[in-house]
Each structure stands twice: as structure tokens, then as C-alpha cells.
């Protein structure tokens, strides 16, 4: 049986360094395009913003808002970051303590999502 596309996007948050030479930054865009495509999703509104993490890296954040003004997809492009976990501890491997704290932002994002059966 073929699967149908959902009528609303799956909550999705994506972090990607624009200097990642292991995974192309275009993959982040592809994930976001997939998460925001489908019937009934043509009305999603964008909010763009720039900022600087406490560690010093600049980032570009795009929020995709549904018709109820809830953020359902977020994309973070971290300027100057390579293939590393953004905001991770300097004692870890493949971490970038200069970037925004991806862990904290993911927790914030997913806690803000409505659960199935609620509004």
C-alpha cells in the first residue's frame, strides 16, 4: 500500500556547518525542502534571522511557521563550522564549542511541538 504524505510537516530541526567538507551543506537544504513539501504546506511562512553564539560563531536561522504560527521546521547554518557537533564540549571529538548549542536548541524545539491528539 502506498504511503500518503502528511498534511503537516514532521517537526524537523537541522544544524549544518557551511565549512563542512565531509557532508555537503546542500544536504541540510534538501532535508528542509522535504520536510516542508507536500499538499497543504504551501502556506508555510518563513522567518529568517542572524546571530552570534556565545562561543563566537555566526549563524543563520530560518524558522518555518505553520498557519497557527507554530515553528514546525528550523534550519541553522553555522558559519565557519566544519563537520562537528555545534556547541559541544572542547574535550569531545568532532565538537565545536564556538557554535550555538545544538543540544539545547533541539530540546527547546522538540518541547515546543504539539503532541499527537493535542493542539
Strand partners, 14: 75
* Segment 20-61, tens digit of pLDDT: 999 999 999 999 999 888 665 667 888 999 999 998 999 999
- Structural domain contains residue 10: no
Distance, in Å, from the CA atom of 60 to the CA atom of 13, rounded to the nearest integer, reads 13
* Segment 47-98, tens digit of pLDDT: 999 999 998 999 999 999 888 888 999 999 999 999 999 998 888 889 999 9
Residue 6 has pLDDT above 80, yes or no: no
- Structural domain contains residue 117: no
**Could you identify the residue written with the cell 532535508?**
31
- Global pTM reads 0.86
Per the structure, the count of domains in the chain is 1
- Structural domain contains residue 4: no
Residue 42: which domain range? 15-111
Distance, in Å, from the CA atom of 116 to the CA atom of 25, rounded to the nearest integer, reads 31
Amino acid at each position: 500500500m502506498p504511503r500518503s504524505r502528511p498534511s503537516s510537516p514532521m517537526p524537523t530541526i537541522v544544524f549544518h556547518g557551511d565549512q563542512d567538507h565531509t557532508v555537503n551543506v546542500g544536504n541540510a537544504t534538501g532535508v528542509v525542502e522535504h520536510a516542508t513539501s507536500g499538499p497543504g504546506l504551501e502556506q508555510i511562512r518563513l522567518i529568517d534571522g542572524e546571530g552570534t553564539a556565545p562561543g563566537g560563531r555566526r549563524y543563520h536561522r530560518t524558522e518555518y511557521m505553520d498557519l497557527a504560527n507554530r515553528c514546525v521546521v528550523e534550519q541553522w547554518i553555522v558559519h565557519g563550522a566544519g563537520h562537528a557537533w555545534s556547541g559541544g564540549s572542547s574535550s569531545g571529538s568532532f565538537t565545536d564549542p564556538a557554535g550555538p548549542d545544538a543540544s539545547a536548541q533541539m530540546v527547546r524545539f522538540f518541547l515546543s511541538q504539539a503532541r499527537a491528539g493535542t493542539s
